[in-house]
Amino acid sequence: MDAHTPPAEVIPPRPVLEAPDIARVLTRIAHEIVERAKGAENVVLLGIPTRGVHLARRLAAKLTEITGRDVPVGSLDITMYRDDLRLRPARALSRTEIPKDGIEGSVVILVDDVLFSGRTIRAALDALNDIGRPRAVRLAVLVDRGHRELPIRADYVGKNLPTSLRETVKVQLAEEDGRDSVLLGLGETSPAEG
Amino acid sequence: MKRHLISAADLTRDDAVLILDTAEELARVADRPIKKLPTLRGRTVVNLFFEDSTRTRISFEAAAKRLSADVINFSAKGSSVSKGESLKDTALTLEAMGADAVVIRHHDSGAPHRLATSGWIGGSVVNAGDGTHEHPTQALLDAFTMRRRLVGADTGLGRDLSGRRITIVGDVLHSRVARSNVHLLTTLGAEVTLVAPPTLVPVGVGAWPCEVSYDLDAVLGKSDAVMMLRVQRERMNAAFFPTEREYARRYGLDGDRMATMPEHAIVMHPGPMNRGMEITAEVADSARCTAVEQVANGVSIRMAVLYLLLSGAVPEEPAAGQTRTEESK
Amino acid sequence: MTETTTTTVTLLRGAKILGGEPADVLIEGETVTAVGTGLEAPQGATVIEAEGRVLLPGLVDLHTHLREPGREDSETVLTGTRAAAMGGYTAVHAMANTFPVADTAGVVEQVWRLGKESGYCDVQPVGAVTVGLEGRKLAELGAMHDSAAGVRVFSDDGKCVDDAVIMRRALEYVKAFDGVIAQHAQEPRLTEGAQMNEGLVSAELGLAGWPAVAEESIIARDVLLAAHVGSRVHICHLSTAGSVEIVRWAKSKGWNVTAEVTPHHLLLTDELVRSYDPVYKVNPPLRTEADVLALREALADGTIDCVATDHAPHPHEDKDCEWGAAAMGMVGLETALSVVQHTMVDTGLLDWAQIADRMSFRPAAIGRLAGHGRPIAAGEPANLTLLDPAYRGEVNPAEFVSRSRNTPYRGLELPGRVTHTFLRGRATVVDGKLT
């Protein structure tokens, strides 16, 4: 989720999605959600900080456009549930914000920017478990770059991006980075990061 | 952050803000049906208390348990072994049991420092109050309470206490709470004033980064927070002040005095309170008094400290070199 | 140690006597028999090539804790006198705070006899001023003086004779046999529970303070008392700039006041306590930089008469603990001369002749100790210390011969090393090793 700092000698990353592409795939995902969740009733969007939260808000806005109803949106920090805490210095926590009506009996759609090893989503499922019991949990990601280490798959994918482990995928969003784009670069990445 | 928390002076501004921010997020866990996080599963936290302090011990215990750590309470009070042997031998025992963190309360100033630097144990050491030295988690929870009240819970995130004026009143000489607060609040940008009778201010206070006043009324009007320290009645017998009545009259906080404080200003007390001595019941029970809130905040702060000390990778420790006097020429 | 019946003969060749021009010194039996240049080595003489070395009279310590009887786990007369010999000492004054306290003729004679048997260094017992060091009732000072030990120095060291009347009487009483009261100046009420020097560092560390005034007020009282009754008083381990001022004033009045300073108070400050390492816990406590400088100056100008080690051995467990539970004191015999060279000679404050004065002549004179603190000349007893001032080395407590290792100088590089010590002509230390 965090920005990867590429080594200095690396070739400049090239964009694989630009702002209009990102807007288009989010619209598509919103429509798919409405379609599969039968009008998106009972849907709660929970973004995984940091960029997943922005994506969740954008999706919620699009769902409201489509359905004319407010869709609850929140955030789910998974730091305390990570399985790699002891591999790095202690991390700052992000905000967990559960919509006021909770998630009991709802369809929670977890939203993240990049799906990689699947460990983040595993942690998110654990975190969710301590908060309530949704009827179902779905996963929406902007980019799926493969290299899964756990039996996890996304229900909604903006773009499937086959990568090698030597490549890095960096998502930039206007709210955080001043521009929208998905960049593919070179440099060592650990699948544990996503 | 360092591997241990011995003194509030060990914390940089960024360390301290990180702890406060982390505590702010963790405070929200208290509102959930399941108030537990799996983060320290399988880690062992020992509460090593050489001094009675039920409040502090249960606060650390609750914090460790909410993070899923195994908690062992070790009360060393009443041990017949000589004090020195018992700290070292106890430490070796805890090490053998695989303690990942030792939370220590001790009647001797410096005992946690000694535990952390003696090589007796390998885990993290958290100072839960040592003699008349420091009580860093108390200062952190005080700062947390001030930031919430004076800056705001959400608006306070990432921010310090720059420009806030904090007055600490009472037995500064014997107070580990005061020492830790002077360090921490100064690090966080606050302006600290100590108020006490001159007998209860340490010789050497001139080097502290704060003001000292003997006149409570003169500083109340320009205080954003007033922290009342517990004054032990035994001090009277050692001639630190003539009578309780005189102490209360000159340095106690009552309703009239509280009325001279700015409207937004809060009254703090680390507890347990001596009602009628340093604080009247009217003040203690008023909405401006944060004593109860401080207790609740204590659990969040201690969760944050344990999380930040224990969850990450073990940082490299610089070899402990012996310090010597500067050659004097 | 075996008694030898044949006369040992030693020739020191080219030693700088009191740091002066190189000369040869011939020792025959217990006596220096010739001093000069180009001396011939007699048949069978041991010749020690001493070029570059400094020859001093055997050092005399006015303040040593040998711990025997009672605390033989930390030191004995034998181990303590071995440590003394290694440090270049030929006589030490054994403090009275043993178990039982050296407050009777019996105990001081026992310590004196143990010293004789050790053969490494003369041991002059110090008698307690009051029974049990309790400050209430005078001990039998006269009996201790009349005993085989011939006690002349009396001290309750470790505790202050704080009762003004008792102090006055003691000062008066010992005039009968030219005794001296060595006062441990510490006002007890001002130092209840004291852990370290009271000042900036104690305020920060939250350790109970030992204020300078607690020492100075007693010294002020005692110099006035000594003047009033016309007796002599000696101030143990003077540690503050204010104490220096009082002693300087008393001496300017012509009063019979002498004072000692420890090596550690000439070098270390209370900043070290920030480590909470009890190896720095000592009484009186380490003071400030300003005090250290004042003490050096006072030793240089003679306001402070002598250096005394306050060698205070403690077993490991009494220091391997938290500060508050730790014992007070440091070992010092084996490092004293190096610390003094470092702080006083290498800084240009004193030359070697003055070191001989501060570490041998003066303490022997204060203790009225016969046969020690004598000039290096033909006919004088051969109590001598030969040192290599060019040597530099790290202090390694594992090499100490003292039974205890509680030194604050571990790992510190210090100059100077005693290569030979002679006690009445017999070498107790040769090439830096005990014989």
Asked if the structure places residue A156 within a domain, the reply is yes
What pLDDT does residue A7 have?
52
Set of chain A residues whose Cβ sits within 8 Å of the Cβ of B309: 90
What pLDDT does residue B249 have?
95
The answer on whether C145 is annotated among ligand-binding residues is no
What pLDDT does residue B306 have?
97
Query: Quick one: CA dihedral C32, C34, C36, C41, positive or negative?
Result: negative
Confidence grade of residue C416 (pLDDT, cut at 50, 70, 90): very high
Mean pLDDT of A137-161: 96
Is the pLDDT at B321 greater than 50? The verdict is no
Asked if the structure places residue A187 within a domain, the reply is no
For B289-302, b/e burial (b = at least 16 CB within 10 A) is bbbebbbebbbbbb
Asked if the structure places residue A126 within a domain, the reply is yes
Asked if the structure places residue A89 within a domain, the reply is yes
What pLDDT does residue A188 have?
66
Task: Report residue B204 CA to chain centroid gap.
Answer: 21
Distance in Å, alpha carbon of C318 to nearest chain B alpha carbon:
7
Which helix H or strand E contains B27, and what residues bound it?
A: helix B13-27
Q: List the 157-176 stretch of B: residues with Cβ below 8 A of C.
A: 176
Is the pLDDT at B185 greater than 60? The verdict is yes
Set of chain A residues whose Cβ sits within 8 Å of the Cβ of B21: 92-93
Is the pLDDT at A154 greater than 90? The verdict is yes
Name B166's bridge partners: B192, B225
What pLDDT does residue C30 have?
96
Q: State how many domains chain A has.
A: 1
Whether residue B311 and residue A85 make contact (CB cut-off 8 A), yes or no, is yes
The answer on whether C97 is annotated among ligand-binding residues is yes
Confidence grade of residue A3 (pLDDT, cut at 50, 70, 90): very low
Contact C64, C101 (CB under 8 A): no
What pLDDT does residue C5 have?
55
Distance in Å, alpha carbon of A23 to nearest chain B alpha carbon:
30
Q: Which of C204, C317, C320 to mutate to test the interface with B (most CBs of B within 10 A)?
A: C204
Is the pLDDT at C356 greater than 70? The verdict is yes
Considering the entire predicted model, what is its pTM? 0.90
Asked if the structure places residue A174 within a domain, the reply is no
Q: Which of B38, B307, B311 sits opposite A126 (nearest CB)?
A: B38
What pLDDT does residue B31 have?
84
Set of chain C residues whose Cβ sits within 8 Å of the Cβ of B88: 320-321
Asked if the structure places residue A169 within a domain, the reply is no
Mean pLDDT of B150-176: 96
Whether residue A81 and residue B36 make contact (CB cut-off 8 A), yes or no, is no
Mean pLDDT of B254-275: 96
Task: Report residue C119 CA to chain centroid gap.
Answer: 19
Is the pLDDT at A81 greater than 70? The verdict is yes
What pLDDT does residue B1 have?
74
Question: What CATH superfamily classification does C58-366 receive?
Answer: Metal-dependent hydrolases (3.20.20.140)
Q: ipTM score of the complex? A: 0.89
What pLDDT does residue B32 have?
85
State yes or no: cis peptide before C69, omega within 30 of 0: yes
Q: Which residue has the higher pLDDT, B319 or C177?
A: C177
Mean pLDDT of B142-153: 97
Task: Report d(CA C97, CA C305) in Å as an integer.
Answer: 24
What would be the CATH architecture of the domain defined by C9-55+379-434? Roll (2.30)
Is the pLDDT at B75 greater than 90? The verdict is no
Set of chain B residues whose Cβ sits within 8 Å of the Cβ of C323: 108-111, 114
Confidence grade of residue B326 (pLDDT, cut at 50, 70, 90): very low
Of C27, C14, C19, C4, the C-alpha closest to C421 is C27
- pLDDT one-digit tens code per residue, B216-229: 999 999 999 999 99
Task: Report d(CA B329, CA C23) in Å as an integer.
Answer: 34
Side chain identity, residue C247: V
Domain that holds residue A103: 19-164
What pLDDT does residue B24 have?
96
Whether residue B324 and residue C320 make contact (CB cut-off 8 A), yes or no, is no
Asked if the structure places residue A189 within a domain, the reply is no
Residue of C nearest to B85 (CA): C321
Is the pLDDT at C33 greater than 90? The verdict is yes
For residue B77 the two structure tokens come to 């009070």
- For chain C, what are the domain ranges? 9-55+379-434, 58-366
Is the pLDDT at B318 greater than 50? The verdict is no
- CATH of residue A82: 3.40.50.2020
CB proximity list for B245: less than 8 A, separation 6 or greater = none
Q: CA dist C147 to C81, C104, C150, Å?
A: 21, 9, 5
Asked if the structure places residue A170 within a domain, the reply is no
Mean pLDDT of B89-109: 92
Confidence grade of residue C1 (pLDDT, cut at 50, 70, 90): very low
Distance in Å, alpha carbon of C422 to nearest chain B alpha carbon:
33
Active site residue C301: no
Set of chain B residues whose Cβ sits within 8 Å of the Cβ of C269: 325, 328
Is the pLDDT at B81 greater than 60? The verdict is no
Distance in Å, alpha carbon of B91 to nearest chain A alpha carbon:
24
Confidence grade of residue C161 (pLDDT, cut at 50, 70, 90): very high
Query: Domains, chain B, ranges and CATH?
Result: 8-135+295-310 (3.40.50.1370), 136-291 (3.40.50.1370)
What pLDDT does residue C7 have?
84
What pLDDT does residue A55 have?
97
Contact C146, C105 (CB under 8 A): yes
Whether residue B108 and residue C272 make contact (CB cut-off 8 A), yes or no, is no
Whether residue C322 and residue B202 make contact (CB cut-off 8 A), yes or no, is no
- pLDDT one-digit tens code per residue, C341-353: 999 999 999 999 9
Contact C181, C233 (CB under 8 A): yes
Work out the mean pLDDT of chain C and round it to a whole number.
96
- pLDDT one-digit tens code per residue, C84-107: 999 999 999 999 999 999 999 999
Q: Which of C272, C275, C276, C345 to mutate to test the interface with B (most CBs of B within 10 A)?
A: C276
Work out the mean pLDDT of chain A and round it to a whole number.
90
- pLDDT one-digit tens code per residue, C369-410: 999 999 999 999 999 999 999 999 999 999 999 999 999 999
Ranking A5-14, A61-70, A137-146, B304-313 by mean pLDDT, the lowest is A5-14
Whether residue A95 and residue B25 make contact (CB cut-off 8 A), yes or no, is yes
Of B48, B178, B184, the C-alpha closest to B115 is B48
- pLDDT one-digit tens code per residue, A57-72: 999 999 999 999 999 9
Task: Please give the share of chain B, as a percent, with pLDDT higher than 90.
Answer: 78
- pLDDT one-digit tens code per residue, C122-134: 999 999 999 999 9
State yes or no: cis peptide before C375, omega within 30 of 0: no
Three-state DSSP state, B84:
helix
